[in-house]
């Protein structure tokens, strides 16, 4: 058994032969070798696997690759500029020490970018609520929240 799935990942069109039951995160990590997207819980709790599908943050461990047929997928590898310049949200995480071990960071950044597009002038409370789908076991969230408040401002200013 097998099916063909086609989508755009980080701007590149691709087709892949997969088993029907292949999860989107498996396609991204194991078929495309884009290992920046992490698997923390595999049960839709932690958000480490967050990517964008057509601009919306989704948990790639909780959907089939086939559900992304024809979609535009953005992973953490596609966020920085081609010359390596960090995305304003990535820069804000670096500036504000928004990570320790870094395991949760790709998912945090992907969710934060989607959040910031919708809440350009978010305060701390809104950011904390916007982070409900992402867990971090190191930082205690304080610096992540600071990073996202700063990153949102930088994104709004850059527009």
Partner 1 sequence: MHAFKYHRASSANEAASIVARNGEARFLAGGQSLVQMMKLRFVSPSDLVDLGSIKDLAGIKADGSGVTIGAMTRHAEVAGSAEVRKAIPALAALAGTIGDRQVRNMGTLGGAIAHADPAADYPAAVLGLGATIHTNKRKIAADDFFKGMMETALQPGELITSVSFPVPKRAAYMKFKNQASRFAIVGVFVADTAGGVRVAVTGAGPCVFRSKELEAALSKSFTAQAAAGVKVSDKGLNKDLHASPEYRAHLITVMAKRAVQSIA
- 3-state SS class at 74: strand
Binding at 3: pick from ligand FES, partner 1, ligand FAD, none (beta carbon under 5-8 Å per type): partner 1
Taking CB under 6 A as the rule, does residue 138 contact ligand FES?
yes
Q: Which residues of 43-73 are buried (b: 16+ CB within 10 A; e: fewer)?
A: eeebbbbbbbbeeebbbbbebbbbebeebeb
Interface residue with ligand FES among 22, 26, 51, 59 (CB under 6 A) is 59
Taking CB under 6 A as the rule, does residue 46 contact ligand FES?
yes
Taking CB under 8 A as the rule, does residue 114 contact partner 1?
yes
Taking CB under 6 A as the rule, does residue 112 contact ligand FES?
no
Q: Which residues contact residue 81 at a Cβ distance below 8 angstroms, ignoring those fewer than 6 apart?
A: 87
Choose between 14 and 135: whose C-beta lies nearer to ligand FAD: 135
Taking CB under 6 A as the rule, does residue 121 contact ligand FAD?
no
Q: Could you count the other beta carbons within 10 Å of the beta carbon of residue 94?
A: 12
Contact between 61 and 23 under an 8 Å Cβ cutoff? The reply is: yes
Interface residue with ligand FAD among 44, 80, 101, 121 (CB under 6 A) is 44
Residues 10-69 that bind partner 1 (CB under 8 A): 19-21, 23, 42-45, 47, 50, 53, 56-59, 62-64, 66-67, 69
CA proximity to 136, closest of 99, 110, 109, 97? 99
């Amino acid at each position: 058994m097998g099916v063909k799935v086609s989508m755009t990942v980080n701007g590149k069109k691709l087709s892949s032969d997969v088993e029907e039951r292949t999860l989107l995160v498996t396609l991204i990590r194991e078929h495309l070798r884009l290992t920046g997207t992490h698997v923390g819980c595999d049960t839709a709790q932690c958000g480490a696997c967050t990517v964008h599908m057509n601009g919306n943050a989704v948990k790639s461990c909780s959907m089939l690759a086939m559900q992304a047929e024809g979609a535009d997928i953005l992973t953490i590898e596609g966020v920085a500029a081609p010359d390596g310049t960090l995305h304003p949200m990535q820069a804000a995480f670096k500036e504000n020490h928004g990570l320790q071990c870094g395991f949760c960071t790709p998912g945090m950044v992907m969710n934060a970018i989607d959040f910031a597009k919708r809440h350009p002038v978010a305060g701390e409370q809104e950011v904390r609520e916007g982070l409900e789908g992402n867990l971090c076991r190191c930082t205690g969230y304080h610096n992540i929240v600071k990073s996202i408040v700063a990153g949102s401002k930088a994104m709004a200013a850059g527009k």
